[in-house]
A and B are shown apart, each in its own frame.
Chain A
């Protein structure tokens, strides 16, 4: 899993290297015999990867994320029971004992509908990942479109887009997500995803506009323009790749936020009402009713959410630091 991560970052490095052209002098390596390392022109990504490889924080974050992805992939095969089947429903006593406790074959017990808690936690990783990834992708696509338009064209397009973004930013983001989710006549996983995605749009838009704007008058763009490269090609091939670093960092951090926000939406009853497919946020949101007597129902999904959110945050923050030219010391 980690070598796959490395491959991806190396690929990115290879692609952005010639254009970014950011040779880094402080990464010159001198070997034992006093010879300079050959790799003089090290791209931002390659030098970032070099430092990340030895960065404990990044490795912890990446390991958590890798395990989470692995779990999402294989959980249907390792879950002991069907997460949607009310296997212990006969044990649920509305008045005396609404939550069946742990027993043979059900190490964590069951939930209020007699469904195996362990299986729901394991399989829940899939839907949690699904919501996180699609909400982030939605925000990224929206922000990419707006930010690229604003940054690449400037002028009135820029003013218009930035006014829209300013207004979106003038409502607290979680409150806006609540409001958008409330519009849905039939709440589903998609209304949750859309609500969280829209809230992320202005953040990505600002980020991309900033990096695009900074590049409009930089040498490599001027050179491309002088060579007669078409405007679309300049934007997509010469400007966007350089914005990739901050965007990836932001996307990693947003993934954590999306998973937490999905839980908050469920908590307010604005989440996905369909419980057949388990999701950690919804599990945590629903568990509040049983908090006083059965706090474990909340603790398990919360622990999963916190671990995964922490994993993405650690990865994002260490990536940010590694990619920031200012902190290369």
Chain B
């Protein structure tokens, strides 16, 4: 098991190194390059040359990559130019991280808690109205653009009905300890603040959860259908095991393998949806910062956020692989 984890960790380091190269190439191919991004289009050739020298852009490309890498390892990505001008890009990431973690956690929780039981029931009662409704929902869920769903929820429940706030994270004054607003309210015993923060989370979390829900539902349904058909389930039935034991030990455990992988992939991919959802709801998380950074071409913020997103994605996948090996002993020996 340890060897398996070490091997996967080494592979992960390789992927991250290649990713950093890609990011470096990407930064260099941005319109006008770094200098134009920092100085604008109207800078004189002299100022451009001076900045190029100061930034080391006149040196060979591998020297530049080395410098980029060493700065990245020390967490120096430069100051933001658009999102929050003058602030260190890494600070922006760290300040906004709790908001996105809170939102992602809610979205994934909604998706998993609904999709797995529904997927299981749909498979057990194949062809029933529940099955059909589930399949239809998951098909429509994938066909609706995430940001439009966010629009729709905001328009209906916030603008028209005024049931829930139309954006932001919190609309009451509260003390913040950890920057996880819901948690902060509990820690400081300001429960109203927690409830307020939760209300702000509901609509964006629902919008963000649709795609994970659709995908996890379909994978669960397919996996359970496949397992229900296996010989060992028939054997278990023939042996006269109670249906609770069959369901728990034989069906669910085996069907969970592809589901776990899918949940991992969906958590990793959540940030792309968060960019769109957070923008619609002005939710001050990483996604909103990314949307702003794309709009204003804030390259310092872009590089730190994209690298962070990729590292999180790779880490989650590593975690899923390890979990997979825990559930399925066959994986370890491969």
A→B interface (CB under 8 Å): 163, 166-167, 170-175, 178-179, 182-185, 256, 260, 263-264, 267-270, 284, 288, 291-292, 295, 298, 302, 305-306, 309-310, 313-314, 317
Give the contacting residue for A264; candidates B139, B276, B297; CB below 8 A.
B276
Residues of B contacting A: mostly:
helix
Give the contacting residue for A317; candidates B139, B155, B294; CB below 8 A.
B139
Give the contacting residue for B139; candidates A163, A167, A298, A310; CB below 8 A.
A310
**In the complex the two chains form, is B31's CB within 8 Å of A183's CB?**
yes
What are 20 A-B pairs with beta-carbon distances under 8 A?
A: A163-B14, A166-B15, A170-B314, A173-B269, A174-B273, A179-B306, A182-B30, A182-B297, A182-B302, A183-B29, A183-B30, A260-B143, A260-B145, A267-B279, A288-B151, A302-B148, A306-B140, A309-B143, A310-B143, A313-B143
* A224 CA / B129 CA spacing, docked (Å): 50
Minimum CB–CB distance from A273 to chain B (whole Å) comes to 13
Contact with A along B10-24 (1 / 0, CB 8 A): 000011001100100
- Which residues of B have CB within 8 Å of A313? 139, 142-143
Nearest B residue to A177 via CB reads: B272
* A312 CA / B139 CA spacing, docked (Å): 11
**In the complex the two chains form, is B269's CB within 8 Å of A172's CB?**
yes
Nearest B residue to A167 via CB reads: B18
- Which residues of A have CB within 8 Å of B297? 182
Given contacts A172-B272, A174-B273, contact A305 B15 (CB under 8 A): no
**In the complex the two chains form, is A284's CB within 8 Å of B294's CB?**
no
Given contacts A171-B310, A260-B145, contact A268 B291 (CB under 8 A): yes
**In the complex the two chains form, is B295's CB within 8 Å of A268's CB?**
yes
**In the complex the two chains form, is B148's CB within 8 Å of A298's CB?**
yes
- Which residues of A have CB within 8 Å of B159? 292
- Which residues of B have CB within 8 Å of A270? 294
Given contacts A306-B140, A313-B143, contact A184 B269 (CB under 8 A): no
Give the contacting residue for B147; candidates A166, A267, A292; CB below 8 A.
A267
**In the complex the two chains form, is A291's CB within 8 Å of B155's CB?**
yes
- Which residues of A have CB within 8 Å of B309? 171-172, 175
Give the contacting residue for A305; candidates B145, B155, B270; CB below 8 A.
B145
Q: Is B304 an interface residue (CB 8 A)?
A: no
- Which residues of B have CB within 8 Å of A171? 19, 306, 309-310, 313
Given contacts A167-B22, A185-B31, A317-B139, contact A284 B148 (CB under 8 A): yes
* A264 CA / B275 CA spacing, docked (Å): 10
Minimum CB–CB distance from A68 to chain B (whole Å) comes to 13
- Which residues of A have CB within 8 Å of B272? 172-175, 178
* A306 CA / B148 CA spacing, docked (Å): 10
**In the complex the two chains form, is B15's CB within 8 Å of A167's CB?**
yes
Give the contacting residue for A263; candidates B15, B140, B145; CB below 8 A.
B145
- Which residues of B have CB within 8 Å of A178? 272, 275, 290, 294
- Which residues of B have CB within 8 Å of A182? 30, 294, 297, 302
Please report the total number of B residues contacting A with Cβ < 8 Å: 45
Minimum CB–CB distance from A85 to chain B (whole Å) comes to 27
Q: Which of B277-334 contact A (CB under 8 A)?
A: 279-280, 290-291, 294-295, 297, 302, 306, 309-310, 313-314, 317
**In the complex the two chains form, is B276's CB within 8 Å of A267's CB?**
yes
Minimum CB–CB distance from B314 to chain A (whole Å) comes to 5
* A120 CA / B260 CA spacing, docked (Å): 44
- Which residues of B have CB within 8 Å of A269? 294-295
Minimum CB–CB distance from A195 to chain B (whole Å) comes to 12
Minimum CB–CB distance from A187 to chain B (whole Å) comes to 10
Nearest A residue to B296 via CB reads: A269
**In the complex the two chains form, is A264's CB within 8 Å of B271's CB?**
no
Given contacts A167-B15, A172-B268, contact A302 B294 (CB under 8 A): no
**In the complex the two chains form, is B294's CB within 8 Å of A306's CB?**
no
Please give 12 more A-B residue pairs, beta carbons under 8 A apart, in addition to A171-B309, A310-B140.
Answer: A170-B314, A170-B317, A171-B306, A172-B309, A173-B269, A174-B269, A263-B148, A264-B147, A268-B276, A268-B294, A288-B147, A310-B143
Q: Which of B32-59 contact A (CB under 8 A)?
A: 32
* A33 CA / B197 CA spacing, docked (Å): 72
Minimum CB–CB distance from B334 to chain A (whole Å) comes to 16
Given contacts A185-B32, A306-B140, A314-B139, contact A170 B19 (CB under 8 A): yes
* A292 CA / B166 CA spacing, docked (Å): 11
Q: Which 7 A-B pairs have the closest CB atoms?
A: A174-B272, A185-B31, A309-B143, A310-B143, A172-B272, A172-B269, A175-B272
